[in-house]
Chain A
Amino acid sequence: MVSKKDEEKKENQVFKEPFDKFIHEPSRLKIMAQLFVVEEEDFIALKVQTGLTWGNLSSHITKLEDKGYVNIKKEFKGKKPRSWASLTSKGKEAFEEYIKSMQGFLTETVEEKKKK
């Protein structure tokens, strides 16, 4: 006889978020992945490499900065401003964790499908 508590636990395990939903959003995932593979890049490069619009890039990078995943640095060369973005150590850890979770999740799913 399976108790109600066990059933709830099983259900929670099935519907548990296997990875960081905040990073999983496609635009944020693109930004995080791009910044993960480089040391830092300016906003123009980030826009070109991710293919996002200025509006999208600006809104998501602000969210990532608020979360403490991305560090924004502004500098002036003469009168021209240049904004640099890089991952914080918290951001790097979160992204590595996200990758591990995704790999685990996908491996499990494939293995389960093979068993069936």
Chain B
Amino acid sequence: MGENIDLKELEKKAYRSTFEDGIWDIFIGLILLAFGFIPLGDLFELPELLGMFLLSLCWNIGAVVIMILGKKYITVPRIGIIKFGPKRQADQRKLKIFLGINVLLGVIFLLMQMSGIFGFINLQGFALSILVGIFISFPFGVCAYFMDFHRLYIYAVLGGAGFFLTDVFRLFISPPFSLILAFGIIGGSILITGMIFLIKFIREYPKPNKLS
């Protein structure tokens, strides 16, 4: 069934070409960088959690805007648009449902945290870092599966390792710089990877002329 295998490969190649632009990498890098900037929420002179929430919300909206504009003005004019078959469309729907549930759970978790309902849980140190890491890695991993985007598995692990790395850095550097440094390294390296992919992409696919 050589032809079948080749056709599958052809579809995969077409699908994966949508990740060649590095814009998803830049987006994820920015999201992870946001974790490092969370302590700067204090600057707003608002209650601590609200300040953090507003800062990360604004930052994440910025990341989404960058991704949308990048796709619209860089990717689409260069490699066009492909509408994939029913299986990919079903995966996209499942991903949207999963992300919707995830956002909802995140908001509920934040509200519960603000109300102090988790006060009885006495998790500290590396155990807490690992637990938070799982909460970060899991959704990223699920996204990687539904998106069939293999680099995202690595980013899921790196993102999950962020708070663990913060605890390691805390042995040498005082907070909040340990958090800024840990997520700065992780988010920054993903961001740089994305930029390298983007430069390669722009070089490889110049904007086609108006003949199209």
With known contacts A48-B79, A48-B205, A99-B3, A38–B212 Cβ distance under 8 A: no
Chain A residues proximal to chain B, CB less than 8 Å: 33-34, 36-49, 54, 82-83, 99, 102-103, 106
The minimal Cβ–Cβ distance linking A19 to chain B, given in whole angstroms, is 11
Main SS class of interface, A: helix
Supposing A44-B79, A45-B79, A48-B205 touch, asked if A37 and B3 sit within 8 A by C-beta, the answer is: no
Tally of contacts, chain A with chain B, CB under 8 A? 72
Instruction: Determine whether the beta carbon of A54 is less than 8 Å from that of B211.
Output: yes
Q: Report the nearest A residue to B82, measured CB to CB.
A: A41
Q: What is the interface residue range for chain B against chain A?
A: 20 to 34
Instruction: List CB contacts (< 8 Å) of B71-128 with chain A.
Output: 76-86, 89
Secondary structure at chain B's binding surface: helix, strand, loop or mixed? helix
Additional 9 contacts, C-beta under 8 A, given A38-B85, A42-B80: A37-B10, A37-B11, A38-B84, A44-B80, A44-B208, A45-B82, A47-B208, A48-B205, A54-B212
Chain A residues with Cβ below 8 Å from B1 are: 103
- Known contacts A34-B10, A34-B14; A41/B83 CB under 8 A: yes
Query: B residues within 8 A CB of A46?
Result: 80
7 contacts between A and B (CB under 8 A): A33-B10, A37-B8, A39-B89, A42-B81, A44-B76, A46-B80, A54-B212
Known pairs A37-B14, A47-B208, A48-B205; A102 contacts B3 (CB<8 A): yes
Expressed in whole angstroms, the minimum distance between the Cβ of A71 and any Cβ of chain B is 13
Partner of A38, one of B2, B6, B8, B83: B83
Q: Looking at the assembled complex, report how far the CB atom of A79 sits from the nearest CB atom of chain B, in whole angstroms.
A: 12
| Assembled-state Cα–Cα distance A45/B79 (Å) | 5
Q: How far is the CA of A99 from the CA of B8 in the complex (A)?
A: 14
- The chain B residues found within 8 Å of chain A, CB to CB, are 1-3, 6-8, 10-11, 13-14, 17, 76-86, 89, 205, 208, 211-212
CB neighbours (8 Å) of B6 from chain A are 33
In the bound complex, residues from chain A placing their C-beta under 8 Å from that of B85 are 37-39
A40–B212 CA distance with the chains assembled, in angstroms: 16
Instruction: Flag if B17 contacts A44 (CB, 8 Å).
Output: no
The distance in angstroms between the C-alpha atoms of A83 and B84, with both chains bound, is 16
Q: Are B17 and A49 in contact (CB under 8 A)?
A: yes
- What's the Cα separation between A64 and B6 when bound, in Å? 22
* Chain A residues positioned under 8 Å from B81 (CB to CB): 41-42, 44-45, 82
| Minimum distance in angstroms from A36 CB to a CB of chain B | 7
CA distance A82 to B81 in the complex (A): 10
Q: Which residues of A contact B83 (CB under 8 A)?
A: 38-41
- Measured between beta carbons, the chain B residues less than 8 angstroms from A106 are 2
How far, in Å, is A106 (CB) from chain B's closest CB? 8
Instruction: Given A37-B14, A38-B14, answer yes or no on A44-B7 (Cβ-Cβ < 8 Å).
Output: no
Chain A, residue nearest B209 (CB): A54
- Quick check: B7 and A33 within 8 Å, CB to CB? yes
Residue of chain B at shortest CB distance from A102? B3
CB distance from A96 to the nearest CB of B (A): 10
Residues on B with beta carbons closer than 8 Å to the beta carbon of A48: 17, 78-80, 205
